[in-house]
Amino acid sequence: MVRTIRAEYRVFDTRDALNRAVAAHFVQGIQAAVAARGVARIALSGGNSPKPVFSLLANPNEPYRDAIPWYRLWVFWVDERCVPADSPDSNYGAVRELLLSKVPLPPERAIRIEGELKPDEAADVYESAIRGHYRLEGAEVPIFDVLHLGMGPDGHTASLFPHTEALHEMGRIAVANEVPQQKQSQRVTLTWPVINAARDVFFMIDGSDKADPLGRVLRGPYEPETLPSQLIQPRSGRLLFLLDRAAAANLPAVDQQGSGFVEMER
């Protein structure tokens, strides 16, 4: 069965403008979820790109911090390196330092991947925590309200790297994934069917080294083994990319509002 995914991309001239757009998107998604269901559940990705966004969200001199109902929020992680929480390579550690330590989110509302455990154990513990939180049964999957992704120059997203075992996992919520091409090769990641179940899935991508893979992801042939970001096909049929101008260099020109659209048949 062929599905059409409508991908919207918005392009920003400066990195600060991109950071603020991402921060605003988080706030709007959280507020919408709380208004609709009384609670918001978000899943965060790591890497260097979103770090300034986490700082913006925590800054009391910016408008974002006070706009978030922290007591209604639950925070999860899309993926993690198998390192202790105090490691500079920890995705959770970066969010804790830049955001969680500076906002009134109760500690128990941050459900992290315990990267200090063995990879398979960390994946099992995380999946169990998610199942318990959502009260899932059988093959049910969690539905995150806002799920944030990045993309690497190799076309990976989350810890779904080219030619790795996790690309073929469809029944689990979280799995360990060995990524031999990376320094921190042991990872835990949400699976792509879980990512696709989220209500609002968006990418934040910056840098000229992402322009070629992004163009291939959105406009090239379907090759998810080589370009795992192509696996991201939300059930909602909508997918958003927030980009700087360098990352968007190989995409069609945007309209006067800074937006463009690509329809992908998968």
| CATH number for the domain harbouring residue 59 | 3.40.50.1360
Answer yes or no: is pLDDT of 181 > 90. Answer: no
What is the number of structural domains in the chain?
1
Average pLDDT of the segment spanning 65-76: 98
Residue 162 covered by a domain: no
Answer yes or no: is pLDDT of 96 > 80. Answer: yes
Q: Could you list the residue range(s) of the whole structural domain that residue 226 is in?
A: 8-151+167-245+254-259
Tokens of 137: 């049964």
119 contacts 176 by C-beta, under 8 angstroms: yes
pLDDT at 4: 79
Question: For residue 151, is it left (φ>0), alpha (ψ between -120 and 50) or beta?
Answer: beta
pLDDT at 195: 98
What is the rounded average pLDDT for all residues in the chain?
Answer: 96
pLDDT at 2: 67
Residue 264 covered by a domain: no
Q: For tokens 């706030």, what's the residue?
A: 27
- The closest alpha carbon to 242, from 195, 201, 188, belongs to 201
pLDDT at 1: 59
Answer yes or no: is pLDDT of 29 > 70. Answer: yes
Residue 1 covered by a domain: no
Residue 159 covered by a domain: no
Residue 85 covered by a domain: yes
pLDDT band at 108 (very low <50, low <70, confident <90, very high): very high
